[in-house]
Chain A
Amino acid sequence: DTGVSQNPRHKITKRGQNVTFRCDPISEHNRLYWYRQTLGQGPEFLTYFQNEAQLEKSRLLSDRFSAERPKGSFSTLEIQRTEQGDSAMYLCASSLALMREQYFGPGTRLTVT
C-alpha cells in the first residue's frame, strides 16, 4: 500500500492555459474525491467518484473543470482556460465505500500567473 499519489506536485501555468492533474488512489479503494484548498483555508469538496461513475459535483466545479475516472482506478482533473482564482492546492482522497475516513494525497499546487 503506497498511499494516494498525485502528479504533478507543483504546476505553474499562465492564465488561459489548460492544465491536467492526476490522482492515483490506494489500490482497491472504489471512492475517489477531489478537494480544493486555498491558502489559509480548509479544503472544499469539488467532486467524487464511486468506481468510474461521477456521483456528485459541487457548485464550485464550474464548466471549466472536468474530472474523469475512466477505469475506476486513477482520476484526472482538468481545468480549461485557467484563471488566477484557480490558484490553489488540489487534493485527492480515496476510501472504500464502507470506510469512515478518507486518505489524502500530497496535493498538486497550482499557480496561475
Chain B
Amino acid sequence: AQTVTQSQPEMSVQEAETVTLSCTYDTSESDYYLFWYKQPPSRQMILVIRQEAYKQQNATENRFSVNFQKAAKSFSLKISDSQLGDAAMYFCAYRVNNAGNMLTFGGGTRLMVKP
C-alpha cells in the first residue's frame, strides 16, 4: 500500500522568509504524480504545485518550488518570500497514473506565518 508521511505537524515562518515543508512517500510504482495542496481555514483545498515522477526537473510555480528526490522518495515544498496569505494546512499527496487516479494524502502540516 502507498503511504505519504508529513513529519512536521506545524511549521512557523516569518513573513518574507523561506520555509520548507517535508514529505516522504512509499511506493513500488514507477509512474506516478506528486502534489502539494493548500487548505486555508474553512476554505476549500487548492492545488499548489505538482510533479510528474518521470521528470527530473523540479517543478516551480512562482514562489513555490519542490525538491523531488525520487530515489529517496522525498518531495519537499519550498515557499519563498512567505506571505500572510500562505498560512494554511498543506497536504502532500500522491497518485499512481492508472485508471483509478485516487489521491493518497499525508497528514498535513499547519503553516503559520508571523508578521
Q: List residues of chain A with CB under 8 Å of any chain B CB.
A: 3-4, 31, 33, 35, 40-45, 48, 55-56, 91, 93, 95, 100-107
Contact = CB atoms under 8 A, between A and B. Distances in A.
Contact of B103 (A3, A43, A107): A43
Nearest to A50: B99
Contact of B100 (A56, A91, A101, A105): A56
Interface stretch (B13-21, B38-46, B65-73): B38-46
A49 to B, nearest CB: 11
Interface in B11-54: 33, 35, 37, 43-47, 50, 52
B75 interface: no
Contact of B44 (A31, A44, A100, A105): A105
Given A48-B102, A100-B50, A106 B108 contact: no
Given A101-B50, A104-B44, A42 B91 contact: yes
Which bucket holds chain B's interface residue count? 20 to 34
Given A42-B107, A43-B91, A100-B33, A106 B43 contact: yes
Contacts of B103: 33, 35, 43, 45, 93, 102
Interface of B: 4, 6, 33, 35, 37, 43-47, 50, 52, 91, 93, 99-108
23 contacts: A3-B44, A33-B102, A40-B108, A41-B107, A41-B108, A42-B6, A42-B93, A42-B105, A42-B106, A45-B102, A45-B103, A48-B100, A48-B101, A56-B102, A100-B33, A100-B50, A101-B47, A102-B103, A104-B44, A104-B45, A104-B46, A105-B44, A106-B43
Contacts of A104: 37, 44-46
B22 to A, nearest CB: 14
A24 B44 CA distance: 14
A8 B80 CA distance: 37
